[in-house]
A = this chain, B = another copy of it.
Amino acid sequence: MSVMNRYHRQMLFQGIGQEGQAQLLSKQVLIIGCGALGSSSAEMLTRAGVGEITIIDRDYVEWTNLQRQHLFTEEDVYQQTPKAIAAARKLKKINSDINIHPVVIDATAENLASYVQHADVVIDATDNFDTRFLINDLAHKCRKPWIFGACVGSSGMTFTIIPGQTPCLDCLLKVTPMFGATCDAVGVIGPAVQMVVTHQTTEALKLLIDAKEKINSKLIIFDLWNNHYQTIDVSRAKRPNCSSCGEEPTYPSLSYHGRTKTEVLCGRNTVQIRGKQYSLELLESKLADYGEVKVNPFLVSVDIDEKRLVFFQDGRTFVHGTNSIEDAKKLYYQIVG
């Protein structure tokens, strides 16, 4: 079959054309996270004919994913297939002409750097702010555009961040939020996911074919259930002294101090996570949704399924009941976002 025939309708679109299609086929996209946002982004970019797509995810497919995470099937749940692998298998059946690289790792400052370095565009499909700030720093250090995206409930937001040009995630949020709302806490509907992915994919296509003047310079925020859609001019948010995108960047998420660190506490069936310092009061109210919460002046604890989480005032968290760093981090980010 002719490659050109496959992309015929996309080449007919004046914004892309034959030249744009050739460019897409020569480019690389890095998708970080392969949950709801990541699986759909991967599908759309695979169909569009982006030459190389790398998908990073540490997780495997579960029942609660199927309601909104495209590409995955019941069989993937039974097999507990890693999400990146399950996605890649489906994508190859959709388009055997392009290269899909599934990578099953927990993204860190070390292992993410070379992937960002080799990408033309980085797509944020993560579910926590720690990784997003890591992407923000790496993207600015490597001068790569990245497309922020997040959703919960029927709401979502997205913004295309271009080093040296737009404000960055740090400029927008000023401080790392204590908590970001997660789908595990507030729920989410499929269309909210697709709305974010639709915008992220469009912006990725524009970036990949270098249609600079078409890039959306606004932050998009929407609520599909309540029929709100706003495009927000955020140029004022850019700070010349920003530690990620400013004149003298220090890339705090890449420094040893700024990172969330994990270690297995030997023989205790416990993982220790050293991250942000949370307000114990705020934690208390957040954790109430998950189970019975116990508080004393030094710590807050909660039992979830077979595990117990203990948050200390100094930013340490114990996840009792597991020796798996992956499982511990997953539960941790489900709560703190």
Contacts and interface: CB of A to CB of B under 8 A. Distances in A.
Contacts of A214: 225-227
B64 A8 contact: yes
A200 to B, nearest CB: 9
Given A48-B190, A93-B74, A190-B47, A154 B13 contact: yes
A316 interface: no
A47 B68 CA distance: 6
A173 interface: no
Interface in A17-67: 43-44, 47-49, 63-64, 66-67
Given A94-B74, A195-B198, A224-B198, A187 B14 contact: yes
A184 B226 contact: no
Interface residues of A, number: 64
A214 B191 CA distance: 15
27 contacts: A6-B64, A8-B63, A8-B187, A9-B184, A9-B187, A10-B68, A10-B190, A12-B186, A13-B153, A13-B189, A15-B225, A16-B189, A44-B190, A44-B194, A47-B67, A47-B70, A66-B94, A70-B70, A73-B93, A189-B202, A191-B201, A194-B194, A194-B201, A195-B198, A198-B198, A198-B224, A199-B224
Interface of A: 1-2, 5-16, 43-44, 47-49, 63-64, 66-68, 70, 72-75, 77, 93-96, 153-154, 183-191, 194-195, 197-199, 201-202, 205-206, 211, 214, 216, 218, 224-227, 229, 231
